[in-house]
Chain A
Amino acid sequence: MSQAGQSDEFSLILASSVHDMKNSLGMLLSSLEEVVGETKAQNERQAQLFATLQYEASRINGELIQLLSIYRMQKNRMPVAIDEHYVVEVLDDLLARNESLFAMRAVAVDLQCDPELIWYFDSDLITSVVNDALVNCSRYSKDRVQLSAAIVNECLEIRVSDNGNGYPPSMLGVQDAKQEPSVFDQGRTNLGLYFATRVAALHTRGELQGELRLENSGQFGGGEFVLTLP
Chain B
Amino acid sequence: MPYQGYDKLNVLVLDDFEGFRSTLSSMLETFGISRVDTASNAEDALKACKTRYYDVILSDYNLGHGRTGLQLLEELRYREIIKQTQAFILISAENSKQIVLAATDVEPDAYLSKPITAKALQHRLDRILLQRRELRELFQALDKREIPAAIAVCRQHIEARGHQSSLCQKHLGQLLLQMGELDQAELVYQSVLEVRPLEWAKLGMAQIKCLRGDLNTAERWYRELITANPLCLRAYDGLAEVYKELQDDENLQKVLQDAVAVSPLALLRQEQLAEIATSNCDFATSARAYRRVVRLADQSVYKSPEQNLAFARATLRLEEQDSKAAVELGRDALKKLVDLEADILDEDLQLQAQLLQTQLYLQQKDSSRAELSFEACQEMIDQATDSLSFEVEVEMVKTLRAISKEAEAKEKLDSLCSKYEDDEEKLEVLDSLLEEPKSAKNRKLVSRINKEGIRHYQAKNFVQAVESFSYAKRLFPNHVGVQLNLVQVLLAEMEEFGCKQETLQTIEESLARVTHQIQATNTQYNRFVQLREMHKAMVRQLQ
Contact = CB atoms under 8 A, between A and B. Distances in A.
Interface stretch (B111-119, B331-339, B453-461): B111-119
Nearest to B228: A80
A100 B117 CA distance: 9
Contacts of A86: 163
A80 B228 CA distance: 8
B20 interface: yes
Contacts of B200: 83
Interface stretch (B92-100, B342-350, B376-384, B392-400): B92-100
Contacts of B23: 30-31, 34
B503 interface: no
A82 B118 CA distance: 28
A79 B19 contact: no
A68 B113 CA distance: 14
Given A79-B229, A84-B198, A100-B117, A93 B96 contact: no
Contact of A30 (B95, B98, B115): B115
A34 B69 CA distance: 25
Nearest to A20: B93
B124 A23 contact: no
A61 B122 contact: no
B99 A33 contact: no
A180 B163 CA distance: 41
Contacts of B119: 96-97, 99-100
B440 to A, nearest CB: 46
A151 interface: no
Contacts of B118: 33
A114 interface: no
B196 interface: yes
A29 B96 contact: no
B122 A124 contact: no
Nearest to A32: B115
A150 interface: no
Given A92-B123, A96-B123, A120-B196, A79 B93 contact: no
A77 interface: yes
A68 B98 CA distance: 14
B452 interface: no
Contacts of A82: 196, 198-199
A228 interface: no
A81 B96 CA distance: 10
B20 A27 contact: yes
A176 interface: no
Interface in A1-38: 19, 22-23, 25-27, 29-31, 33-34
B231 A83 contact: no
B96 A124 contact: yes
B194 to A, nearest CB: 13
B59 to A, nearest CB: 16
A93 B114 contact: no
Contacts of A33: 115, 117-118
B17 to A, nearest CB: 8
Nearest to B91: A26
A128 interface: yes
B431 to A, nearest CB: 43
Interface centre among A82, A84, A127 (most CB of B within 10 A): A84
Nearest to B123: A96
Contacts of B123: 89, 92-93, 96
A96 B114 contact: no
Contacts, number: 88
A19 B94 contact: yes
A65 B113 CA distance: 11
Interface in B140-167: 163, 166
Contacts of A99: 117, 119
A83 to B, nearest CB: 6
Contacts of A65: 95
B230 interface: yes
A141 interface: no
A69 interface: yes
Given A23-B93, A82-B199, A96 B230 contact: no
B122 A96 contact: yes
Given A26-B114, A27-B19, A93 B120 contact: yes
A39 to B, nearest CB: 15
B536 interface: no
Contact of B116 (A30, A61, A118): A30
Interface centre among B93, B94, B95, B124 (most CB of A within 10 A): B95
Interface in B175-196: 196
B157 to A, nearest CB: 15
Contacts of B102: 79
A230 B207 CA distance: 28
A31 B19 contact: yes
Given A77-B230, A79-B229, A79-B231, A97 B120 contact: yes
Contacts of A124: 95-98, 113
Interface centre among A79, A99, A120 (most CB of B within 10 A): A79
Interface string A168-195: 0000000000000000000000000000
A34 to B, nearest CB: 6
B127 interface: yes
Nearest to A100: B117
Contacts of B117: 30, 33, 96-97, 99-100
Given A22-B93, A23-B93, A83-B198, A93 B115 contact: no
Nearest to A77: B230
A78 B166 CA distance: 25
Contacts of B199: 81-83
A170 to B, nearest CB: 30
Given A22-B93, A96-B122, A128-B95, A79 B230 contact: yes
22 contacts: A27-B19, A27-B20, A30-B117, A33-B115, A65-B95, A76-B230, A78-B96, A79-B96, A79-B99, A79-B229, A79-B230, A81-B98, A81-B199, A83-B199, A93-B120, A93-B123, A96-B119, A97-B117, A97-B120, A99-B119, A124-B98, A128-B95
Given A89-B127, A93-B124, 17 more contacts: A22-B95, A26-B115, A27-B19, A30-B117, A33-B115, A69-B96, A72-B96, A79-B229, A79-B231, A79-B232, A81-B98, A81-B199, A83-B200, A86-B163, A93-B120, A97-B119, A124-B95
Q: Which 5 A-B pairs have the closest CB atoms?
A: A26-B114, A96-B119, A29-B115, A96-B120, A26-B115
